[in-house]
Structure 1
Amino acid sequence: MPGRTIQDVIDRGDTVTAFCHTYLCFNKSIIDMRALRDRFGPNHGAMHDDLVPKLRCRKCGKRSVGLTCTPGTKEYGGHARRAPEGDA
């Protein structure tokens, strides 16, 4: 499977979250993919190995970062999936 680009992630409406793996930090932040597109171009890779070397934790400054990609709502007909009432 070919790698996805930053523009692919934006078009699909996916959310990419970075997690700091540094002991006692564990900060997390949603990545602004539009800002990355403006900086690196729309065809820049959006896979883990493409993005992680360019990231650093905003809280502690370390580069021990992992990524999680959450599928966008566009794949589900444009409607966000909600948990049933009463669920946390």
Structure 2
Amino acid sequence: MPLDKIVERAKQHQPAPKATYKLIQEYVEMKYGFKVHNAYIAKVKRELGLPMYDAPNAAEGLKQTRKHPTQEKVNAIKDALNYYNLI
């Protein structure tokens, strides 16, 4: 079997890259021109019922109350999640 066909088959079987919070933040900043906080992304993911994982370094109690994202930021995050095929 030729080497180029092996490489081509290997590329077909590679898993899709995961959409990290950093990628979502970069997408929103490039497209909409503002930054979103990780907590806002997590809140939108929770509301949509997407899988969330417990952080090993999470604190039991919050020092400050969480702020709610504006509707503009929620829509931008949903657009980013849609762009990365998470919703």
Give the TM-score normalised by structure 1: 0.24
Give the TM-score normalised by structure 2: 0.24
Select the structure with the greater relative contact order (CA < 8 A; seq sep ≥ 6).
1
The structure number with the bigger radius of gyration is 2
**Which structure has greater helix proportion?**
2
**Which structure has greater strand proportion?**
1
